[in-house]
Chain A
């Protein structure tokens, strides 16, 4: 079994702008919790703490930070929204 899994990360709003892309392909250890993925992001983003109120979606469904990632998962960092 390969030690690493491939996940796609979707970025929006100021995160997308900071990263210069709306989609990142990342390689992380198997069963990495989605909440730990932030620290694997590129330097421009990973250097700061995750914003308060950050939520996570995996494969277009809300999930908790402790949810373990599987190969091929698509993760979205969902920043707080102010609606309207």
Chain B
């Protein structure tokens, strides 16, 4: 079970998908949108996916994790706007014993972050926003807020 969704993430369906009577360990992970207070305060992140390839990478990562750790694995990533404190990615893995369950869950989330073409538009408390996509940052300050960008 892998996918992209614009709806709030829930671990329940992922856990149900990976649960197996022969598996004694089930690990889950949620990646949350972080405020980054002290730096430039974030209020939300908007996620944009290259859907076809992101889905292919999600499926490939889960298949690799399954083969490598003998685990059942599921992962879903958000698209659209996700507020601070809300989950942007969810993963679950089950295996006969807990080391493999933890390892598979970690493998999935680590690989996903690098391989899935899903970009982040950071939305800041000062009204500006900026894509984290390797191009020169072109923040768009909201009218009446600060002038110079911190990026």
A-side residues, CB < 8 A to B, are: 10, 12-17, 48, 51-54, 57, 60-62, 76, 78-84
Contact = CB atoms under 8 A, between A and B. Distances in A.
Contacts of A10: 50
Given A10-B50, A13-B48, A80 B133 contact: yes
Given A12-B48, A13-B133, A84-B88, 10 more contacts: A10-B50, A12-B50, A13-B135, A57-B117, A79-B119, A79-B133, A79-B134, A80-B133, A83-B113, A84-B31
Interface residues of B, number: 24
Contacts of A52: 134
B116 interface: yes
A84 B53 contact: no
SS of B interface (majority): mixed
B148 interface: no
Interface in B117-151: 117-121, 131-136, 138
